[in-house]
Amino acid sequence: MRSLICLIALASVTACASTPTAYQPMAGGDRGYSEMRIEQDRYRIRFAAGSDASFQLAEDYALRRAAEITLRDGGDWFLVVGRARDGNDRDPVGVGGSVGQTWGSGGFRASGVGIGLRFDGSAGEKEVMLEIVVRSGERPQDPQAYDARAILDFAPR
């Protein structure tokens, strides 16, 4: 029993030891943002997050990066022309159990207890990809058009 408790504790610590999600360049790691210029005014932005972040936070971070790129390039607003999500929200460690009991002839009785552990290193990994077009001037009344300055005021850091 002591070994089982140690194993569960070790699994929990290992699951929590992955790189935390932060707003930062990916730069060789497995978390953060990256971008690729596709055309003069078009970019593909990717934000990779771990199990400690929601899809919504990953998308907010991708929008923040899009706003930074827009202002850096002299734009006022950007249009999201493509969105994609990949990954899942599963917990990397799962514990399950079962109890069974059976009776047979002659008073025979047997009981059993089972405990199962699941370790999934890729569980909870998620990534959001945006394709944007940088624009200047008055922003249109399009739900996919974002004011870069407003995004920087409200998006998480």
Q: What is the pLDDT of residues 9-59, one digit of tens each?
A: 555 545 445 678 889 999 877 899 999 999 999 999 999 998 888 999 999
CA angle 132, 19, 48 (to 5 degrees): 15
Residue 136 clears pLDDT 60, i.e. is over it: yes
Q: Would you place residue 152 in the very low, low, confident or very high pLDDT band (cuts 50, 70, 90)?
A: very high
Start-to-end Cα distance in the chain: 44
Q: Kindly report, residue by residue over 56-72, the tens digit of the pLDDT.
A: 999 999 999 999 999 99
Name the DSSP class of 21.
P
DSSP state string for 80-143: EEEEEEEE----SEEEEEEEEEEE-GGG-EEEEEEEEEEE-TTTT-EEEEEEEEEE-SSPPS-T
Given this model, what pLDDT does residue 93 score?
Answer: 65
Per-residue pLDDT tens digits for 78-119: 999 999 999 876 665 667 777 777 777 777 787 887 777 766
User: What pLDDT score does 101 carry?
Assistant: 79
Q: What is the pLDDT of residue 120?
A: 57
Cα separation, 34 vs 52, in Å, equals: 19
Domains of the chain are 33-92+122-154 (3.30.70)
